[in-house]
Structure 1
Amino acid sequence: MRSLLAVVAAVAALACALGAPARAVDAAWAVEPAWTADAAWPADAAWPADAAWAVEPGGGSRPYVYLEGAPGAVLEDKLSVTNPGAKPLTVSLRPADAYNTPSGSLAVRGARQSKGAGTWITLASDRVTVPPRTRAEIPFSVTVPPGALPGDHPGAVMAAVGEREASVRIHLRVSGPTLAALTVEDVRVLGGVIHFTLVNRGNSALTPRLTVRADGLFGQVLRRAPRTLPELLPAQRVTLTEKWPDHPALDSVKVHVGATAAGDARAEASASATFVPWGTVAGAAAALLAVSGGTALWCVRLRRSRGRTADGPPAEQADGKRELTGAAR
């Protein structure tokens, strides 16, 4: 009995010392697919009967269009639109700014929302009809404003046929000094999920490497191998999450989230969190109350029993006999 009471008391004391429980949140870090382009067909290959149209950088196999120039420069390149079908294909084209969504994926602005590199791009035509089984080249130019700041200015060209859209990324860099700078902010631990915000405070696109670790009262409780995150564009912030399903049941921890990138960009931020098995504590407390209540009731009954024996009727009445005293009745 004393051992059980001691264990329950110790758990309850530690729980109170650690503080409020961390709340569980059903969340996971997830990033939508980054820039993708439909595959092109080699010139000497047969056209697939069920292939879809594709748009990609012109002049060969490139993941994106890269252009660099000083303020005031006019840069030129081209796009390639492939129509594998048996009928002519009319494709609508428009330039746009590129940015990171809050979850980290890459996206493009709407037709009227672009205010950066998307407004510097001029297409030879915004509507092109491509003959059957043909790959068409569409020239375009980028005019860098005279007052453009040095660094990366992400853009894209969107192609649309009906409800389907595809894009080609335009990686534009204005000549001049570049700065690689990262910050990690707003680290929080809610239940089995670590939340944090990553901010690109420089003027160049970065591909961060993430590290996560945590130290508890008795040593290290979490150490994740570094991994590469999707590209983070200049002046963009993303809010990410890291699952921690095997976090301690009872501990006070400090979580450290770090990020590094090319150009000697480094950042780290920390947050404290507590984990308390409140279900176990509640069950132990209920058991303690039940045991204490039963013990108290037993003690009361024992006292009453002893009291009746001490203050009860005379001994001769208790055993059914009378003492002869000679007194008159």
Structure 2
Amino acid sequence: MPVLHTLRRAGVLLLAAAALHGAAVVGAPPAAADEPGWTAEPVAGTGVAPKASGAANAPAARPYFYLAGASGTVLEDRLSLANTSDQEHTVTLRGADAYNTADGAFAVRPAAPAAAGDPQGPATGAGSWISFGASTTVKVPAHTRAVVPFAVTVPPGAPPGDHPAAVVATEAGHEVGVRVHLRVDGPALAALTVEDVSVRGEGAASTIAYTLVNRGNVALAPELSIEAEGTFGKVAGRSAHTLPVEVLPGQRVELSEPWPGAPVFDRVALTLTVTAPGGARATGRASAWFLPWGIAGRTGAGLLGLGGTAAAALLLVRKRRIRGADDAAAPHGSAVPDQSPAPEHELTGAPR
């Protein structure tokens, strides 16, 4: 049963409500124009956030839910729905599985059944463990905040590690997702691989494309460094930096990295090294030729001309060899008959 509280002020954080390929993307707050008149977020935690000197402490805000426990247990938390408008809103709540989009964004699966062959169907993982009981649909009066409890029932035998999910609130097609970071007790394995490394473009406009695959059972926030070795020594790469993605267990993301230090003319061997908390480390390698089109065009034309000259010379030598063989085959001291054609008669139009 939701608990209702009268709002004293507005301005509550609205987590991502955008839709992408039928899934609500969870992450940064949307633009003000996307404001539906209500917000959804975790109820402030029991911890305290430090205030300025002399000010009272307040409950710490939480950007997402974090729950942890053993398989077979029931975990509980509370969602806050705040109606900042002058009219009542009816909000529907559900749990959803979470996944990475191809570019690494955090997204949740839709509520509707998926089409045949579509892997992004309704919740079958941790999203299906979330229950709101009788509070699946909540009416929130104007300028009122509803506190809605929910439970996460971890099934017996659930594998250890992270199980990404989200709580999704919906009204009239508008969805707001709040991430649920759920970890089941047990051994944590941080492991990933770097695959499909390639170079696109040339010069300062070059980019390095690659794929990261999370082979472990915990979400990873990786760091990437790039080393480049040219024909004549080291080439400018990229120093270690944190990537703006979190790769979920079992997911693969396709990323690209700008490479302004790429050479203009060289053959380069690239080594990509990715690390993540928990001891995860992986490398990926590739090589690439950098050759300016102008030089390539002139070099190609020169090689083509040289090839033509060589072919003509070989043909001339072959003809001379054939003629020498015919001379050697004729009888000694005899003349070779003249094979010149008979002279043509001039046509004047008069009978002969």
Q: TM-score, normalised by structure 2?
A: 0.66
2:28 to 36, 39, 43: 36
How far residue 281 of structure 1 moved from its aligned partner, in angstroms, is: 2.9
Within a 5 Å distance, the mapping from 1:1-329 to structure 2 comes to 35-37=27-29, 52-60=37-45, 61-111=61-111, 112=113, 113=121, 114-124=123-133, 125-191=135-201, 192-229=206-243, 230-283=245-298, 286=301
Name the amino acid aligned to 1:118: G
Q: Secondary structure at the match of 1:225?
A: strand
Name the amino acid aligned to 2:189: L
Q: Does the 8 Å contact 2:26/2:178 carry over to 1?
A: no
Q: Does the 8 Å contact 1:37/1:56 carry over to 2?
A: no
Change (3 A) 1:37 1:94: farther
Q: Secondary structure at the match of 2:239?
A: coil
Stretches of structure 1 that go unaligned for 5 or more consecutive residues are: 1-32, 40-49, 294-329
Whole-Å separation in 1 of the counterparts to 2:300 and 2:282: 44
Whole-Å separation in 2 of the counterparts to 1:90 and 1:37: 21
Whole-Å separation in 2 of the counterparts to 1:122 and 1:289: 73
Q: Does the 8 Å contact 2:165/2:180 carry over to 1?
A: yes
Change (3 A) 1:54 1:246: same
Aligned residues: 252
Change (3 A) 1:287 1:199: closer
Stretches of structure 2 that go unaligned for 5 or more consecutive residues are: 1-24, 46-60, 114-120, 309-352
Q: Secondary structure at the match of 1:224?
A: strand
Change (3 A) 1:232 1:252: same
Question: Per chain length, whose mean CA-contact separation is higher, i.e. which structure has more relative contact order (CA < 8 Å, sep 6+)?
Answer: 1
How far residue 163 of structure 1 moved from its aligned partner, in angstroms, is: 3.2
Whole-Å separation in 2 of the counterparts to 1:285 and 1:184: 36
Name the amino acid aligned to 2:91: V
**RMSD over equivalenced CA pairs, Å:** 2.6
Task: Encode CA deviations 1:268-290: one digit per residue, 9 max, x unaligned.
Answer: 11111111123323146658989
How far residue 178 of structure 1 moved from its aligned partner, in angstroms, is: 0.7
Task: Encode CA deviations 1:110-156: one digit per residue, 9 max, x unaligned.
Answer: 22422110111101322111111111111110110101001110100
Name the amino acid aligned to 1:176: G
Whole-Å separation in 1 of the counterparts to 2:224 and 2:74: 38
Q: Secondary structure at the match of 1:221?
A: strand
Name the amino acid aligned to 1:126: T
Name the amino acid aligned to 1:160: T
Name the amino acid aligned to 1:141: A
Q: Does the 8 Å contact 1:37/1:166 carry over to 2?
A: no
How far residue 257 of structure 1 moved from its aligned partner, in angstroms, is: 1.1
Equivalent position of 2:8 in the other structure = none
Whole-Å separation in 2 of the counterparts to 1:263 and 1:187: 24
Change (3 A) 1:284 1:69: closer
Change (3 A) 1:278 1:75: same
Q: Does the 8 Å contact 2:26/2:179 carry over to 1?
A: no
How far residue 205 of structure 1 moved from its aligned partner, in angstroms, is: 1.0
Q: Percent identity?
A: 54
How far residue 36 of structure 1 moved from its aligned partner, in angstroms, is: 2.9
Q: Does the 8 Å contact 2:90/2:140 carry over to 1?
A: yes
How far residue 232 of structure 1 moved from its aligned partner, in angstroms, is: 1.0
Name the amino acid aligned to 1:57: P
Q: Does the 8 Å contact 1:51/1:84 carry over to 2?
A: no
